[in-house]
Amino acid sequence: MKLMFLGAPGAGKGTQAEKVSAKYCIPSISTGAILREAMSTGTELGVKAKSFVEKGALVPDEVVIGIIKERLAQDDCSNGFILDGFPRTVAQAEALDAMGIKMDLVISIEVSDDDIVKRMSRRRLCEKCGASYHVIHIPTKVEGICDACGGNLITRKDDKPEVVLDRLSTYHKQTEPLKDFYAAKNLLVLVEGNKSIDSITNTIYSKIDSVRG
C-alpha cells in the first residue's frame, strides 16, 4: 500500500499518518521530521536545510528528492509506505514518477487557512523525540512533558504566526497544484479536516479499505 497525505501545514497529515502507519503496519515517512532531526544533530543536510525551514520556505527539490530516494530504498518500505509532506512541488511528484513509484491513494486533508493559523499556535513538539501534540486536541498527560519519552515540549520555530502565513502561501502556490496532478491520475480523495481526529481517521480508513478491495 503506497499512500500519500497532502494538505496545508498543520492540517493533521502527521497525526493521521501515524495512525494509518500503526494500523496497516507500513512506515510513515515525513521529510519534515527527517529535516528537523538533521537540523538538531547539525549534519550537513541540517545546516543546508535550516535557513529554508526556519523562514517557512521549501528546501530545494534536489535535496528532498535525495532524502526520499535513500529512505524508500530501505527494507521496511518493501510492503508499502506513507508519504507525509512529500511531494510538495510538481517537480518532486515527477521525480517520484521517474523513480517508478506508483501511489495507490492520495489523501488531501482539507482545512481552511483561518483554522490552520489557529491550530498552529497551539501545536507543540517534543524537542527530544519529535512527537507532535496540540494543547487542546492532543494534550500530554503532564503539561509540557512528552508522554512518549519525557522530553520537553516546545513550539516549532516555523509554527510562529508570521512564519505560518508564509508556509500557507508556499502551500497554495507550490503544493496545492498537486491536487490536480493526482486527480488527473484518479488517485485523489479529499477528506474534510475540520472534524474530530477520530472521525477523520475513520474516514481515511474507509477510503484506504475501498482501494485495497
Based on CB atoms, which residue is closest to ligand AMP, 85 or 193?
Answer: 85
- The reply to whether 156 belongs to the active site is yes
91 CB-near residues (< 8 Å, 6+ apart) = 61
Q: How far is the CB of 206 from ligand AMP (least distance, A)?
A: 25
Q: What is the DSSP letter of 11?
A: S
Residue 167 binds ligand AMP, judged by CB under 6 A: yes
- CA 45 – CA 63 distance, rounded (Å): 8
Check 2, 36, 71, 88 and give the catalytic one: 88
CB atoms near residue 134 (< 10 Å): 17
Based on CB atoms, which residue is closest to ligand AMP, 119 or 167?
Answer: 167
Check 2, 36, 123, 124 and give the catalytic one: 123
CA 42, 46, 51, 54 dihedral sign is negative
- The reply to whether 123 belongs to the active site is yes
**Taking contact as CB under 6 A, which single stretch among the options 70-78, 87-95, 103-111, 144-152 is the one that binds ligand AMP?**
87-95
Q: Is residue 132 within a helix (H) or strand (E), and if so which, with residue range?
A: strand 132-134
Residue 12 binds ligand AMP, judged by CB under 6 A: no
Q: Are 210 and 203 a contacting pair, CB within 8 Å?
A: no
- CA 113 – CA 11 distance, rounded (Å): 9
Residue 188 binds ligand AMP, judged by CB under 6 A: no
Q: What is the DSSP letter of 25?
A: T
Residue 5 binds ligand AMP, judged by CB under 6 A: no
- The reply to whether 124 belongs to the active site is no
Residue 88 binds ligand AMP, judged by CB under 6 A: yes
Tell how far CA 2 is from the center of its chain: 15
> How do beta strands 123-126 and 2-7 pair?
unpaired
- The reply to whether 167 belongs to the active site is yes
**Taking contact as CB under 6 A, which single stretch among the options 38-46, 83-91, 103-111, 122-130 is the one that binds ligand AMP?**
83-91
Based on CB atoms, which residue is closest to ligand AMP, 142 or 148?
Answer: 148
In the complex, the residues that contact ligand AMP under the rule CB under 6 A are: 9, 30-32, 35, 52-53, 56-59, 64, 85-88, 92, 158, 167
Catalytic residues: 13, 88, 123, 156, 167
